[in-house]
Structure 1
């Protein structure tokens, strides 16, 4: 994880009961905790490791509507409003800036993708604009890339993952939510055919509602309950430079690199054209659901078979409430960054914008994404287990929409009018 992650001090004692128990201390879980606490609903959030220890602190910090599926844009628009109101809501800044996001294309085929997306969202009142090569040179000066065009959404932006989830967690506790770290939830308790509590490594907690926001761990947790959630892992490697002069404050994505300004004056950089895809048993079990993605994105993935397969295989897929769970065996997914991909990204960026020749790497890290077959999350009740709601499978988009996704999950749990139409995120689509 990034070494700048702000730690959170939480409770040590486990309460015996709460109205709602949330499993998972990422941005979606802590935002849901805050939303429920604001409604004076008794809420307990349990995190097996530490708050924001996985993807919520390891992502790029981008907050975008650009290139999202049209039916996913309303969630991103709702998130924009919540990001803008965040400082007043939680009492501090999280580095949110609407500095814009730009994507640039090297080929006519790449440009056609952005043109098709632009047409697909024409009725959604976005401020996105298609760019000419001259527009790119004007907005991001000093470049030497041969771009055929691009797309720019000025109202997109970014925030700082190293502080955001921690700050929301602290705000949730101030509003009355209880958060406990280093406490894994092993399974659910059931009574009369519905959820009546959770069984943790430290004892049982009674509740009437559970929200599972466990990220990449959600598939394994649900599998032990007989529910199959289709998600597969991908690993994104990231680097951060020391403070330096850069060509723009706008975040920019090219086919083989991306960058955005960090609050300390450096830049967050990744190889946008490659992700590591470690093969696990789940690829054999549900890989057929991803054939369409594989056909279009095979060159995008570095598929590898090795230690990750056997480490995953060693973790149990079935366990009892009184036995050690996989969430106690591995508190935090902490994949090693791919130095080759990071260096490739930096080399590509230097060739396109020579200002980055001055870049000096401050740190590098990697994060594990949980990807669904359609790259959209599930935010829905589980009909076969009354009292269980899930918000997971964000496919690398969870930070940007996190405030709205957490709010939507809290709305579903509380049974109130949802912040947006939840239909695109129903579990039944799988």
Structure 2
């Protein structure tokens, strides 16, 4: 199995009610997890997805569930997420593909070791079980080319899951708890009254609700801009491939800065390039240049700039930035963002796979795809209730880290939506940090 696309069959066709307690916009892992947590607590929740549940980055990611390498502010949330993942199969009655087989960061050079010292420091600060490995220990853990790596950081308790399996399974569990979920149902705009949220306007009509969660991934900034709210968000194309079933060289996930690989339930491997992303230049590339300038200097050294986003993309030159609730929105024109893989990426993966894991040399790539990672300047998400527009809540900008942390982000947002304490310090995830003079500090680019 691979990513969910616009050609995937509809799975969720619930009728929209006239009113709900909460409307969730977006069927990625954060939105689905929030709906699941809310429904379990008896909240009347409706989730609207413009295309398919997990159709975009939530089914196109690496499938890692890692605490290792998190921004220090994310670590408490990720510790909670790991605990939730451990019990999700029992709680949902579904196999989400989660296996705690470990995650390894591999180093080929002394410079890579030094760059990951903060990873070790953060792990130890939070009492995360890690092992520092030398060449012999690496060779005993991973059936790779002997002596390829000089050192590694190993977190045995981290895991992996199958994204295209896990998120729809969680959505089905939310339905069974009473959530209404509708695919092919774009939310065009918020319905506002007296300066606060009164509901949403979908392509199928209005839903009354005093609380709305925007979890729109790469589309979030565009949605907010139509309501005069600015979020500095850009998108990066990342390419992933899967192999045919092959020998079990390692049961978890590993990355050495050039190639990432993880074992899949079907016996193959998901592969990704750790040093190649593409950014399509659009109006927001210039509009948000100032907040992103430090991130570009520190983290975009090997990012390839493409001249223009394809038609219909969130930041394409021809994508409307304004529309009325009674007219078709950009979200209906692009049901599922399904970018072409980066040119040459598949051949590069094959070469690097053979160099690092000889036992897998020649293994066929059975599928190659790409996804658009929504990223914010400090590489951590927004998880917040917006003071400027009461009733609106936002969970977006996970910057490639969202799949693993999603179940805990959903729990946090479910509590915020009900006016309860989040249980974690969310100050680093405030929406207002981009406008109140807070210094923007990029997190670890891992």
Short-chain TM bin: over 0.9
Instruction: Tell whether 2:398 aligns with 1:408.
Output: no
Instruction: Tell whether 2:396 aligns with 1:395.
Output: no
Residue 81 of structure 1 and its aligned partner are, at CA, apart by: 0.6
> 1:78 and 1:12, CA in 2 relative to 1: closer, same or farther beyond 3 A?
closer
Distance 1:365 1:385 in 2: 37
TM-score (structure 2 length as normaliser): 0.93
Residue 428 of structure 1 and its aligned partner are, at CA, apart by: 1.9
Structure 2 gaps of 5+ residues are 435-446
Pairs within 5 Å for 1:61-100: 61-100=63-102
Pairs within 5 Å for 1:312-323: 312-323=316-327
1:36 to 29, 35, 38: 38
Distance 2:309 2:72 in 1: 38
**Contact between 1:82 and 1:404, CA under 8 Å: does it hold in 2?**
yes
1:181-204 superposed Cα distances (whole Å, 9 cap, x missing partner): 111111111112211110111111
Distance 1:144 1:291 in 2: 40
Residue 88 of structure 1 and its aligned partner are, at CA, apart by: 1.1
**Contact between 1:210 and 1:389, CA under 8 Å: does it hold in 2?**
yes
Instruction: Tell whether 2:367 aligns with 1:330.
Output: no
TM-score (structure 1 length as normaliser): 0.96
**Contact between 1:370 and 1:393, CA under 8 Å: does it hold in 2?**
yes
Residue 142 of structure 1 and its aligned partner are, at CA, apart by: 3.8
Higher mean displacement: 223-232 or 109-118:
109-118
- How many pairs does the alignment contain? 430
**Contact between 1:20 and 1:42, CA under 8 Å: does it hold in 2?**
yes
Instruction: Tell whether 2:168 aligns with 1:166.
Output: yes
Distance 1:228 1:195 in 2: 17
Which position in structure 2 is the counterpart of 1:346?
350
Tell me the SS of whatever aligns to 1:70.
Answer: coil
Which position in structure 2 is the counterpart of 1:213?
215
Distance 1:211 1:116 in 2: 33
Distance 1:306 1:87 in 2: 42
Instruction: Tell whether 2:139 aligns with 1:137.
Output: yes
Flag the structure with higher helix content: 1
Which position in structure 2 is the counterpart of 1:384?
388
Instruction: Tell whether 2:243 aligns with 1:241.
Output: yes
Instruction: Tell whether 2:379 aligns with 1:375.
Output: yes
**Contact between 1:7 and 1:51, CA under 8 Å: does it hold in 2?**
no
Structure 1 gaps of 5+ residues are none
Tell me the SS of whatever aligns to 2:254.
Answer: strand
**Contact between 2:130 and 2:154, CA under 8 Å: does it hold in 1?**
yes
**Contact between 1:98 and 1:156, CA under 8 Å: does it hold in 2?**
yes
